[in-house]
Amino acid sequence: MSATARRLGAGLEAVTDPVTAIVLERPAGRGWLFAFVAAVVLTALLGSGIWVLLVRGVGIWGIDIPVAWGFAITDYVWWIGIGMAGTFISAALYLTRQSWRNSLNRYAEAMTVFAVSVSGLFPVLHLGRPWFFYWLAPYPNRMGLWPQWRSSLLWDFFAITAYLLVSILYFYVGLLPDLATLRDRARTRGRQVFYGLLALGWRGEARHWQRFETLSLVLAALAVPLVFSVHSMVALDFSEGLLPGWHTTLFPPFFVAGALFSGFAMVLVLGIPLRQHYRLQAFITEAHLDKLARLLLAVGLLVDYSYLCEVFFAFYGGDRYEIALTLNRLGGAYAWVFWTTIACNVLAIQLLWLPRVRANHAALFTIALLVVIGMWFERFMLIVTSLYRSFLPSSWGMFYPTLWDLGFLVGSIGLFFLLFLLFVRLLPAVSMFELRRGVSEGAERRS
Amino acid sequence: MPPLSPTRSAAVEEIRRELAGKHGAAFWRSLEELLEQPQGLQRLRQAVPQVAALDPVLDRRSFLGLLGASLALGGLAGCSGPPPEQIVPWVRSPPGLRASEPELYATTLQIGAEVIGVLVQTYEGRPTKIEGNPAHPASLGSTDAMTQAAVLELWDPDRSQAPVQHGSVASWDDFQAQAAASARQFAHDGRGLHVLSGRIESPSLAAQREALLHRYPGARWHQYEAIDDDNAREGALLAFGSPLRVRHRFDRAAVIVSLEADFLGSMPGHVRAARDFAAKRRPAGSPATMSRLYVVEATMSLTGTNADHRWPLRATDISALAHALATRLGVVLPSDSPGSAQNGTDHRDATRLQALVGDLQDHRGASLVIAGETQPPLVHALAILMNQILGNIGTTVEYFESPEPREGSAASLRALSESMAAGEVDTLWILDGNPVYSAPADLHFAARLASVRHTVHVGLFRDETAARCAWHLPRSHSLESWSDLRTYDGTASIVQPVISPLYDVRSLHEILALLLGSSPTDGRSIVRATWSGRLGLHDEQAWESVLREGVIRDSAPAALGARAELRALPPDIRTRAQGSLDLLFRPDPTVWDGRYANNGWLQELPKVVSQLTWGNAAWLSPALATRQSLANGDVIELRSQGRSLQAPVWIVPGQADETVVVSLGYGRTVLGHVGERLGYDANRVRSASAPWQAQCTMAPTGHHLELVTTQRHHVMQAEVPVRTGTLAQFRANPAFMQADSSTPPSLYPQRPAGEYRWGMSIDLNSCIGCGACTLACQAENNIPVVGAEEVARGRELHWIRVDRYFQGTPARPHVHHQPVPCMHCEHAPCELVCPVGATVHDSEGLNVQVYNRCIGTRFCSNNCPYKVRRFNFLQYADLRSPTLAARRNPEVSVRNRGVMEKCTYCIQRIEVAHIEADRGMRRIGDGEVVTACQAACPAKAITFGDTADPAAAVSREKASSRNYLLLEDLNTRPQTSYLGSLRNPHPELQDDT
C-alpha cells in the first residue's frame, strides 16, 4: 500500500468512524434520553389532542367566524416552510455543484422529511370532517364527483403530496451507500438485518454508482422545482382569496423566500447542538456555519423587502381596505404580533452582518431560533390579521387561542423532535459517502 | 322527572317486588292479577298516579298497556319482546292528512303584551313553525321574534309535565279532592280566597272570573303583569274620567311624536304598528313624501332607532316637555300645573319645540302624539289632550272601552300583598304567573306567600313560584289548548289547539272549571259557551268559519266619541335628589319579563340596540361611563331605596346622561336547563309604586364580566354598508345614492342559465331592526342554538343577522339596521375556493351549499366578504332530545358538526313552488315563493322573487333609484340588493342631523 493510499485510507476512516460510531457504538447518553422522553411526552400530547379533536370537532380550537383559520393553518405553513431548506440545500446546491453542502445535506433532508410530514397533519386535522380528506383526491367514484379544480386548496393538496413523496425518495436514495456502510460495520445480527434490508443490496459496484448518480440527478432536478411550486401553492391558498392582506401577487415569491428563511434558520438551530453534542466539528465546520449565516441574512433581506413591498403597495394602490388592513396590522389589536415579527425577522438578523456574530455559536443559535419563532408569528399575522377585520365592520371579530391550540403547536414540535432524535440514533447524520468522495478527490488533487 | 315522594316510591317498590322476575306474558298476567286484588288499584294509584287517573276513560286493555309502560319507565322489570296484542301499522292515512305536506291552523297567541293571530304549520300533527295570520288585525301575516319562538316553548323539554304536591308528583285526582275541599270550605261566601292571574285578555277567562266572584262573593281576584299599562289607563282616567283603551292608526299619521313610546318594539299592537309605520316611510308621490317621526326618550328604544329626530332627555324631564308642547299647542291646563316652570330650556330646545309645534299644527288630523307606558299618567293625559286639539281623535287615534275587566297591576298586587301580610289570605290560586320572581321587591311577595295556608300555582314551568306553592299544576301550552283572546284593537279570536297535550296538563280554563267544580269542564265547551251568544251554540258553520279564519269579525268595540278634559293635574311625585341617577326599568326585548327565559332561540337572538345575547346589562350613556371610567362588562352596584343590585355595564350611545337602564327578565333561579342563572334580577330594586323610574346611586365593584354580544363594532368606516340620505336629497335627485356605484366588468357569464333568477331586495327604509327575520329563519331552517360560550367565541349560527350601525356622535347617534342574509353572489367568491365543490352555483342563480359534500375547510367563509357563512365547529344540533327533533322542519336537513351552512333563500320553499308549478304545467307565479324572513317581517322590508321577470315585485323593487349592492366594487354581483334608507328631518332642524 502506497503512502498516498494509506493516507487516503486514514482520511476515509476519519469520516466513517465517527459517523458510524454515533449510530453503532455510542450509548444513547443522558442528553439524548432526556430529549427523547420530552419529545415522547409532547407527542403524546399531540396524540391526545388529535383524539379529542376527532371526538369533539375543531371547535376545541379558538377559531370562529370571521377567523376561521387559526393555529392549525399557521402551524402548517410554518412547518412546510421549515422543510424547504433541506431540499434546497441538498438538491439545488447539488445541481450547482456546491460540494460544501455535503456535510449538511443529510440532516437537512431528514429535517425536510419530518417537517413536511408534521405539516401534512394540519391540513387534514383542520378539516371539519377530517375523515373525508381523501375527497380532495381525484378518484373515480359512483357519484361521478370530482374535486373543484379552480380551488388552490386542491392544488396545494397535490403539491404537498408530490413534495412529500419526492423528499422521502430523495432522502432514501441518498442514504443507500451509507446504509450499506452501516450494514457492513454492524456487529449484531439484528442491526445487520435491519440495515441490510434498508440498503437494498447495495454493494458499491460501478453499475450501482452509475445508476445512483443518474437517479440522484433526476430526483434533484425534480425536487428543486417542487420546492418552488409547493410554496407558491401554499401562497396561492391565500392570494386566491379576495381578502385584503391575502389577495396579492407578491405572495408566491414572498412565501418561497419566507420558507427558505425559516428553513435555513432551522438548519442552524438543529446543526449547532448536533455538531456540539456529537463532536462533528470536523464535518460541520465554522465555514459551514458562516455560509449558512450569510444565506440566512441574504434570504432574510429578501423577506424584509417583501414586508416593505406589502406596506408600500397598500398605500400605493390606494385601496381603502388594503390601507385599513395595513394600519390595523401596524397598530391594531394584533400589532404586537407584527412588531414581534419585525423584531425577529428584520432587526435580529442585521447582527449577522458582523463576522464576529457569525462566528459566535451561541449568538448564531439565538438569532436562528428567533427567526424560527418570528416566522411562526409572521404566518399567524398574515392569517389572523387579514381575517379578523374584513369588509363589514359588523362582522369584525377576534381570535383567542385555546389551550388545545397551543397543545397542537407544542405537540407538533414534540413529534418533529421525536422523529429527528430517532434519525440521529438510527441513521448516519452526515453523508459519509459524499464526504469520503471529497476526501479522495482532495487526495487525488494533491497527488 | 321529578323525584318520587316517599309514599310513592314505597308503592313502586312493593309492586316491583311482586312483579320481579316476570317477563313477557307473565308480566302482563301478574299486572292483571294485581288489578284483581283488593286495594290493587289503590296501590297502583299511589305508584303511577298519572295513568291511574285515566282509568275510567280507557278500556281495560289500553289501560293495562299504559300501566305496564309506566311501570317499566318507573324502573320495573318491564316488557321484553313485542306485546301480545296484534299491532297494525298505519297503512292508509286518514282522509285529508298527507304525510309529506304541512297543514296550517289559525289560532291566537298571547306573547308578552301582544295578542297576535297566527297560522301554525304542522307536519303530521307536529307544530313546527308559526306564521302570521293575514286576517288578524294585529298580524296582517307578520309576526315578531317572540311569536316565532312560541313553537319552541311548546316543545321545551323542561316544561312541567305533571301536577306536583309539595315537591312530589301527584295526580289530577288528588288535586280534584283538594279542590272539592276548597269548595266546601268557601261554600259560605269565599272570604279568604284570592286568585291572582295575569292581565285578562280572554273573554272566557273574564266570564269564569265573573262566575267565580258570583259564586264566592267574598273572594278577591287580582291581576298582575310585571309589564302592564297602568299609566295609560290612569292617564285615560284623568282625561276622560274612564279607563279607555287606545288604538293608533299609524297608516294615517304623517307626523308622529313619541314621548318614550316604543310603539314599534314593545307596545301592544307593535307588529301591526310596524306594518303601518313602514308603509308611510316609503317615499311616494311627486314630490315624494314620507312620514316624520320625533322621538323623545331617555334610552334608545327600537322606535328611537327609527326616528327622524331623536332627542335624548332624562325620563323625569319628559313630562315638562309634554307640558310645554301641550301649552304651545293650545291645550288649556289648570294653572297650578307643575311642569309649567320651564327651567333650563336653552335656545336649541326652544327652536325644536317651535318646529315641533309647527309641524304638528300643519298636520291636523294626520298627526299623532303617543305617550309611552313608562311615562306617568299625566303625560298620557296630555297626549290625549294634544291629540284632541290637533283633531287626531277619530283619525289617527281612537279610544274604546275595554270589554274585559282591567285592574292596575301595581295596585292589584299591592292589595294582595297587604292582604297576605294581614293574614287575610287563606287560599291563593296563582293562575299562570310567576309573582315570586316578578313582583317588585318592596311587596315582599315571597316572604308573605309563605304565610298563606293553601297555595296553588298553575304554569308552564316549575318556576320560582311553583317551588313555593303547595300545589303546582302544569298548564297546557297555548298551542295545546282552547281559549279566546282579544287583541290590541279589541278584536277577538279563538285559540284552538293544534296538537293534543304532550303531557298530563290542562288549560287554564279547565283548571278553573275544576276549581269551581262547574261544568262544562273541557276547554272547547267552555270557550264555545262564552261565544254562544254571538256564534250560537249549535251553529257549526259559524264556529268552523271563525276557527278557519282565526278571527271573529267585527268583534272590536266601537270607538267612542268621548271628550277629554283635564280638570286638575295630579301632583308630580317624581322628585330628583341631588347627585342621584335616574334608574329606568325596561322589558327585555327577547325574554320579556322573564317568561321566555328558558327559550334558547330568544336567549340567543341579539337584543335590539345592544346586540347582547344570553344576559342583561345595566345601560349607561357614553358620557356617564367615561366620567366613571367604566367599560363594557365592568360590574357596578346600583343602590335604590335601600336595596342594591350588581350588574355589568353596557355603554349605549344616545342614552340620556345621568341615566341607568336595567332590564327585567333575567336572574331566574328556578326554571330549566336554558334560562337559569343568567344575568341579574332587576326586580330586586323595583318598587310597585314606581315600576319604571326610580332614583339610584352607582358604585363600581372592581369586578368584570364578559358580556356576550354578536356584534362588537358598530361604527361604519365610511358609508359603505348602509347608504343613507334625506328626503330632501331624494327629491332633488332620486338616484343620489347610486352616484358612485358601478359593477366592474367580468368575463364570466352575467346571469344564470336557468328559467328563473331568484333575488331578494331589502328596503332599509322600511326595516325597523326588530330581528323577527332572524328568528323566523332559525325556526324554518332548523338552526341550532349554540349557547352563550359559543356566541362569545363568535360562533352563532344565524343565517340572517341584523347589523346595527351608529353614525354621528355617541351622545346623539343615528342608528341604521341592516339585515344581512347570504347575498347569493352570481360570481361567488366562496364557490371558487372550495376544493371539493361543496358550494356550487345552480342554474337559477342560487349559491347552494351541499352539506353531504362539505369537508369543512372553511375557506369559503374566509373568502366571503359578507361573512354570512356559518360553521358547525362542534356538534350543535341536539340529536338527543326527542321533543326538539319533533319540532324540526322535515323539509330541511339537520347539519352535523364540521359542516358549513348558510342562508339558502329557503330553497325548500322554492322547490315546493317548483313542484306545484310543474304539476300545473305553468311558470312559478310572482309571490308564490315567500322566504321565512320575508313572511315574518312586520315592516315588509324584504321582497323575494324571480328577477328574470321584470313585472315581479322584486324586480320593481330593484328598479328603484335607491337600489344598491353591498360591496359592489368587489364584483361579486349579489342577487340580494338593498334599498337605501332615507330620513325625513324637519327642514328647520338641520343641526340635528
Mean pLDDT (whole number) for A333-348: 95
Mean pLDDT on B203-213: 93
Model confidence at A207: pLDDT above 80:
yes
Smallest CA–CA distance, residue B712 to chain A, in Å, is 7
Whether the Cβ atoms of residue B177 and residue B484 lie closer than 8 Å to each other: no
Least confident of A327-336, B20-29, B507-516, B698-707: B20-29
Residue-wise pLDDT tens digits, B759-798 = 999 999 999 999 999 999 999 999 999 999 999 999 999 9
C-beta of residue B993 within 8 angstroms of C-beta of residue B741: no
pLDDT of residue B102: 85
Instruction: List all residues of chain A from 226 to 245 with a beta carbon under 8 Å from chain B.
Output: 237, 240-243
For residue B911, the tally of other CB atoms under 10 A from its CB is 12
Chain B residues in contact with A242 by the CB 8 A cut-off are 829, 863, 865, 970
Q: Which three cell numbers stand for residue B9?
A: 316510591
Block residue for cell numbers 334599498:
B979
Is the pLDDT confidence value at B956 over 90?
yes
Question: B861–A126: do the CB atoms touch at under 8 Å?
Answer: no
- Distance from A389 to chain B by nearest Cα, in Å? 10
Across the interface, whether the CB atoms of B862 and A397 are under 8 A apart is answered: no
| Measured CA distances, B403 to A310, B214, B392, B752 (Å) | 73, 18, 24, 57
Q: Each residue of B302-317: pLDDT tens digit?
A: 999 999 999 999 988 8
ipTM metric: 0.93
Question: Which residues make Cβ contacts (< 8 Å) with residue B268, sequence separation at least 6?
Answer: B113, B114, B115, B138, B229, B487, B488
Confidence of residue B810 (pLDDT cuts 50, 70, 90): confident
Considering only residues B77 and B570, tell me which one the structure prediction assigns the higher pLDDT: B570
Residue of B263 and A20 predicted with greater confidence: B263
**What pLDDT score was predicted for residue A96?**
81
| B80 pLDDT tier (thresholds 50, 70, 90) | very low
Q: Is pLDDT above 50 for A261?
A: yes
Work out the average pLDDT over B567-594. Answer: 80
Burial of A204 per CB tally in 10 Å (0-12, 13-18, 19+):
middle
Which residue of B lies nearest to A67 if distances are taken between CA atoms? B862
Of B64 and A245, the structure prediction assigns the larger pLDDT to A245
Q: Which of A232, A280, A240 is nearest to A104 (CA)?
A: A280
CA distance A403 to A71: 11
In the block, cell 420546492 appears at A227
Is A90 a residue whose pLDDT tops 70?
A: yes
β-bridge mates for residue B457, sequence order: B430, B472
A142 touches chain B (CB under 8 A): no
* Closest residue on chain A to B970 (Cα): A242
Give B545's contacts (C-beta < 8 A, 6+ positions apart): none
φ, ψ for residue B306, nearest 5 deg: -105, 10
Q: Of residues B940 and B351, which shows the higher confidence score?
A: B940
**Mean pLDDT computed over A103-107:** 87
Share of chain B above pLDDT 70, in %: 87
Q: Which residue has the higher pLDDT, B83 or B870?
A: B870
A400-414, B346-360, B409-423, B823-837: the lowest-pLDDT one: B346-360
Q: pLDDT of B892-922, one tens digit each?
A: 999 999 999 999 999 999 999 999 999 999 9
What confidence tier does B577 reach under pLDDT thresholds 50, 70, 90? low
DSSP-assigned letters across all residues of B688-753: SSSSSEEEEEEEEEEEE---EES----B-SSS-SS-EEEHHHHHH-TTGGGTT--PPP-SS-SS-S
Residue A317 has pLDDT above 80, yes or no: yes
Spatial distance between the Cα atoms of B936 and A145, rounded to a whole number of angstroms: 38
Radius of gyration of chain B (CA): 29
pLDDT for B190 equals 86
- Which residue from B342, B293, B302 is spatially nearest to B322, judged by alpha carbons? B342
Q: Reply yes or no on whether the pLDDT at B220 is more than 90.
A: yes
The residue of A63, A133, A134, A148 whose CB has the most chain B CBs within 10 angstroms, and thus the best one to mutate to test that interface, is A148
* A·B CB contacts under 8 A: 166
Contacts of A116 (CB under 8 A, 6+ apart): A79, A80, A83, A160, A163, A164, A167
Q: Per-residue confidence at B334, pLDDT binned at 50, 70, 90?
A: confident
Q: Which are the contacts of B600, defined by CB distance < 8 A and separation ≥ 6?
A: B152, B674, B785, B787
In this prediction, residue A358 carries a pLDDT of 93
pLDDT at B815: 92
- pLDDT class for B290, splitting at 50, 70, 90? very high
Q: Cell for A390?
A: 374584513
More confident residue, B25 or B674: B674
pLDDT recorded at residue B341 = 46
Minimal Cβ distance to A65: which of B794, B853, B967: B794
Q: pLDDT tier at B690 (50, 70, 90 boundaries)?
A: confident
Q: Which residues from chain A sit within 8 angstroms of residue B866, using beta carbons? A: 391-392, 395
Position A407 scores a pLDDT of: 96
Rounded mean pLDDT, B337-342: 48
Dist. CA B768–CA B305, nearest whole Å: 8
Q: Which among B653, B730, B658 has a CA at the least distance from the CA of B698?
A: B658
Whether A148 sits inside 8 A of B714 (CB atoms) is no
B761 close to B978: Cβ distance less than 8 angstroms = yes
State which residue of chain B sits closest to A73, comparing Cα positions: B857
Collect all residues of chain B within an 8 Å Cβ-Cβ radius of residue A122. none
| Spatial CA neighbour of B443 closest among B226, B709, B159 | B226
DSSP A344: I
Buried b (16+ CB within 10 A) or exposed e, B146-158: bbbbbbbbbbbeb
Cell numbers given for A280 = 462533528
Average pLDDT of chain B, as a whole number = 87
The minimum CA-CA distance between B748 and chain A, rounded to whole Å, is 14
Kindly indicate the confidence band of residue B369, based on its pLDDT and cuts at 50, 70 and 90: very high
Dist. CA B867–CA B711, nearest whole Å: 12
> What confidence tier does B70 reach under pLDDT thresholds 50, 70, 90?
low
Residues of chain A with C-beta less than 8 angstroms from the C-beta of B837: 145-148
Q: For residue B536, what pLDDT band results from cuts at 50, 70 and 90?
A: confident
Nearest CA in chain B to A72: B857
Of B720, B867, B966, the CB nearest to A65: B867
If you average pLDDT over residues A114-139, what whole number do you get? 94
| Axis crossing angle, helix A105-125 with helix A71-87, rounded to the nearest 10 | 160
CA B90 from centre of chain? 38
CB contact under 8 A, A128 and B790: no
Q: Which pLDDT does position B189 carry in this prediction? A: 83
Q: Sheet holding B942-946: strands in order across?
A: B942-946, B758-763, B976-979, B963-964
- The pLDDT value recorded for residue B78 is 36
d(CA B835, CA B855): 9
Rg of the Cα trace of chain A? Answer: 23
C-alpha cell at A147: 374535486
- CB contact (8 A) between residue B862 and residue A154: no
CB distance A393 to B717 below 8 Å: yes
- Give the residue on B whose Cα is nearest the Cα of A240: B833
In this prediction, residue B31 carries a pLDDT of 59
- Contact state of A396 with B898 under an 8 Å Cβ cutoff: no
pTM: 0.89
* Residue B168 exposed, middle or buried by CB count within 10 Å (0-12, 13-18, 19+): middle
Q: In this complex, which of B718, B803, B867 lies closest to A320 when CB atoms are compared?
A: B718
The closest CB to that of B865, out of A152, A157, A390, belongs to A390
B855-860: average pLDDT: 95
The span from the CA of B54 to the CA of B59, in Å, is 10
Lookup: cell for B134: 293575514
CB contact under 8 A, A147 and B818: no
Closest by CA to B228, choosing from B550, B752, B585, B596, is B585
Q: Which of B712, B866, B873 sits opposite A396 (nearest CB)?
A: B712
SS3 B635: strand
pLDDT band at B1, cuts 50/70/90?
Answer: very low
Q: Which residues contact B738 (CB under 8 A, 6 or more apart)?
A: B961, B963, B964
A69 touches B: beta carbon within 8 Å: yes
Burial of residue A357 (CB within 10 Å: 0-12, 13-18, 19+) is: middle
For B873, the closest chain A residue by CA position comes to A59
Cα distance between residue B795 and residue B607, in whole Å: 17
Distance, CA of B106 to CA of B494 (rounded, Å): 9
Q: All 3 cell numbers of residue B928?
A: 308564490
For A247, which residue in chain B has the nearest alpha carbon? B863
Q: Quote the CA–CA distance of A358 and A290 in Å, as a whole number.
A: 6
Amino acid B91: pLDDT: 54
Q: Which residues of A touch B714 (CB under 8 A)?
A: 393-394
Average pLDDT for B194-205: 93
Helical ranges in B616-677 per DSSP H? 622-627
Among A134-143, B43-52, B411-420, B628-637, which is the least confidently predicted range? Answer: B43-52
pLDDT digits (tens, 9 = 90+) for A148-201: 999 999 999 999 999 999 999 999 999 999 999 999 999 899 999 999 999 999
Q: Report the gap between the CA of B91 and the closest CA in chain A (Å).
A: 34
pLDDT of residue B79: 37
Q: What does the block give as the cell for B744?
A: 366592474
Closest residue of B to A63, CA-based? B793
Residue B637 has φ and ψ, to the nearest 5°, of -110, 125
Each residue's pLDDT tens digit, B611-637: 999 999 999 999 999 999 999 999 999
Chain B partners within 8 Å of A333 (Cβ)? none
Q: Which residue of A has its CA nearest to B718?
A: A320
**pLDDT tens profile B397-410:** 999 998 888 888 88
Q: Which three cell numbers stand for residue B904?
A: 339558502
Contacts of B806 (CB under 8 A, 6+ apart): B653, B654, B714, B715, B813, B814, B815, B816
Is the confidence at residue A418, as pLDDT, over 60? yes
Bigger pLDDT: B987 or B51? Answer: B987
Confidence of residue B739 (pLDDT cuts 50, 70, 90): confident
pLDDT at B685 over 90: yes
The pLDDT value given to residue B841: 93
A267 pLDDT exceeds 80?
yes
Please list every residue in chain B whose beta carbon sits closer than 8 Å to the beta carbon of residue A154: 835
Q: Which three cell numbers stand for residue A92?
A: 439545488
Confidence band, pLDDT 50/70/90 cuts, at residue B347: low
Quote the pLDDT of residue B183.
86
**Which residues of A, range 37-56, sit inside 8 Å of B by Cβ?**
56
Cβ within 8 Å, pair A393-B713: yes
Name the residue of chain A whose CA is nearest to B871's CA. A65
Which of A86-95, B282-291, B931-940 has the largest mean confidence? B931-940
Cell 319507565, located at residue: B73
Q: Say if A190 is an interface residue toward chain B (CB within 8 Å).
A: no
d(CA B245, CA B398): 8
